[in-house]
């Protein structure tokens, strides 16, 4: 007995399947067009290379001057050599195109790729002429950039049967260039770097699954070698020279001695001059343990140094008083005696 | 037996390669991706996630994609 109607989930699945098949067909057609475009381009290049030789060969019989005729023959020989070299290149190119044609994906293969990608990628979606997915929230070295959405549209670009953009869903733009949402994404274009050749190879073969996983790998990796902008410049602040913690403007402390920037945990204050110093530019007084900078003035004015001096002054005065038999400066009284 | 091996590191490589009967995914990885750690590579057989002890069969499609690819 035939089941009545379809559940909402079944309808959704059918819609997804239908869209995926349509898209797979469009991608296949686009891949075939890319290949045909390569053949056309090769033919045009060959004609373009042949033309100069033809021009020179036509001039030779008309040239009466012997010297100039010899020069034209020399040019013709050069052109022939160039044409021979180009013919060899074309032969290699033709073999490569034959292999490419052999590897051009069927509609079924593209469909399988898209279905596999839907199971692999988070937030995968499939719409008319567009598929894509959502990355995890990206964070590099404590700098939060948010998640990104990758949109792949069936639109031939160069050797690829499709194009794509990478859009920030919660943009944390670079403070000095609002087009940058990621160290490797400018104006929603991903700079593919080391992945470029492999991405083109996957696109030409219709390997959508591999293509999308590689895009994800690039977006989730920070390369300090040649980004649009270093991640350090993103937060707009500096880093502690000791513990590398990222600092906002109000969290920065400059060392009065070395001049480097530190966080509050990596700095201290000289108990004499009360200036801020890093841990390398502060020391502990050997006597009282107070933190002191290395300036002589502060070492001399340490509180324990003052106490020592006070003790020394008192002992001197006592000694003077003993020698003179009286009070020196009124500072002392003898026990059991009245001081006049 | 032959499997389609797709290596998405470097310039990308996809070709049928000879594999001994009974070779597992782990053994195949060790042989083909010498300087790589399994944690840094996304391994899929017939576009599905697998464990390293899964045995490969003739006609399988094995893809290995680096999880870290440096952009520019």
Site from B6, B49, B50, B70 to mutate, A interface, most A CB atoms within 10 angstroms: B70
Determine the Cα–Cα distance for residues A306 and B28; give it in Å rounded to an integer.
Answer: 77
Distance from CA of B20 to the nearest CA of A (A): 25
Whether residues A210 and B67 touch (CB distance < 8 A) is answered with no
Nearest by CB to A217, from B6, B48, B68: name it.
B68
A337 pLDDT band, cuts 50/70/90, is very low
Instruction: Give yes or no for A1 touching B (CB within 8 A).
Output: no
- Residue A29: the pLDDT is 84
Reported ipTM: 0.93
Question: Touching check for A218 and chain B: CB below 8 Å?
Answer: yes
Q: How confident is the model at residue A328 (pLDDT cuts 50, 70, 90)?
A: very low
Q: Is the predicted pLDDT of residue A246 greater than 80, yes or no?
A: no
pLDDT tier, A314 (very low <50, low <70, confident <90, very high otherwise) = low
Question: What is the 3-class SS of chain A, one letter each residue?
Answer: CCCCCCCHHHHHHHHHHHHHHHHHHHHHHHHHHHHHHHHHHHHHHHHHHHHHHHHHHHHHHHCCCHHHHHHHHHHHHHHHHHHHHHHHHHHHHHHHHHHHHHHCCCHHHHHHHHHHHHHHCCCCEEECCEEEEECCCEEECCEEEECEEEEEECCCECCECCEEEEEECCCCCECCECCEEECCEECCEECCHHHHHHHHHHHHCCCHHHHHHHHHHHHCCCCCCCCCCCHHHCCCCCECCCCCCECCHHHCEECCCCCCEECHHHEEECCCCCCEEEHHHEEECCCCCCEEECCHHHHHCCHHHHHHHHHHHHHHHHHHHHHHCCCCCCCCCCCCCCCC
User: How do residues A97-117 score in pLDDT, each as one tens digit?
Assistant: 776 666 678 888 888 899 999
The pLDDT score that the predictor gives to residue A35 is 77
- The confidence band for A10, taking pLDDT boundaries of 50, 70 and 90, is confident
Q: Write out pLDDT tens, residues A113-171.
A: 999 999 999 899 888 778 999 999 999 988 899 999 999 998 777 778 889 999 999 99
What is the SS3 assignment for B24? strand
Question: Alpha-carbon distance A305 to A317, whole Å?
Answer: 18
Quote the CA–CA distance of A162 and A24 in Å, as a whole number. 11
Are residues B47 and A112, on separate chains, in Cβ contact within 8 Å?
A: yes
Residue A334's pLDDT is 36
pLDDT of A178 = 86
Across the strands, what pairs with A262? A253
Is B58 a residue whose pLDDT tops 80?
A: yes
Q: Quick one: closest CA in A to B15, which residue?
A: A103
Measure A225 CA to nearest chain B CA, in Å: 7
- Cβ distance of A112 and B69 shorter than 8 Å: no
On the question of pLDDT at A268 being above 80, the answer is yes
């Amino acid at each position: 007995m035939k089941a009545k109607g379809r559940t909402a989930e079944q309808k959704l699945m059918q819609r997804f399947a239908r869209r995926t098949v349509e898209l797979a067909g469009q991608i296949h057609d686009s891949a075939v067009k890319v290949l045909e475009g390569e053949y056309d381009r090769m033919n045009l290049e060959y004609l373009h290379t042949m033309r100069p030789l033809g021009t020179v060969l036509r001039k030779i019989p008309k040239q009466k001057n012997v010297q100039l005729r010899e020069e034209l023959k020399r040019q013709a020989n050069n052109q022939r050599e160039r044409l021979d070299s180009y013919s060899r290149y074309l032969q290699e190119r033709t073999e490569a195109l034959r292999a490419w044609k052999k590897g051009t994906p069927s509609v079924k293969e593209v469909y399988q790729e898209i279905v596999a990608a839907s199971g692999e990628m988070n937030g995968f979606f499939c719409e008319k002429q567009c598929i894509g997915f959502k990355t995890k929230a990206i964070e590099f070295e404590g700098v939060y950039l948010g998640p990104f959405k990758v949109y792949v549209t069936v639109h031939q670009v160069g050797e690829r049967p499709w194009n794509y953009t990478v859009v920030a869903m919660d943009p944390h733009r670079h403070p000095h260039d609002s087009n940058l949402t990621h160290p490797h994404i400018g104006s929603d274009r991903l700079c593919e770097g080391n992945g470029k050749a492999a991405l083109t190879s996957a696109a030409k073969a219709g390997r959508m699954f591999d293509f999308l996983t590689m895009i994800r790998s690039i977006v989730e990796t920070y390369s300090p070698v040649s980004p649009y902008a270093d991640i350090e410049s993103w937060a707009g602040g500096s880093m502690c020279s000791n513990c590398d913690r990222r600092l906002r403007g109000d969290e920065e402390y400059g060392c009065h001695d070395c001049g480097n920037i530190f966080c509050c945990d990596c700095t201290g204050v000289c108990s004499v001059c009360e200036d801020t110093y890093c841990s390398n530019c502060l020391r502990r007084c050997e006597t009282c343990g107070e933190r002191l900078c290395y300036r002589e003035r502060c070492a001399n004015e340490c509180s324990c140094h003052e106490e020592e001096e006070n003790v020394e002054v008192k002992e001197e005065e006592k000694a003077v008083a003993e020698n003179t038999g009286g009070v020196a400066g009124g500072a002392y009284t003898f026990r059991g005696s009245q001081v006049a | 037996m032959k499997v389609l091996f797709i290596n998405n590191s470097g310039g990308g490589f996809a070709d049928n390669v000879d594999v001994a009967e009974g070779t597992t995914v782990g053994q195949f990885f060790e042989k083909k991706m010498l300087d790589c750690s399994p944690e840094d590579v996304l391994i899929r057989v017939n576009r599905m996630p697998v464990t390293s002890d899964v045995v490969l069969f003739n006609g399988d499609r094995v893809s290995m994609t680096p999880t870290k690819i440096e952009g520019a």
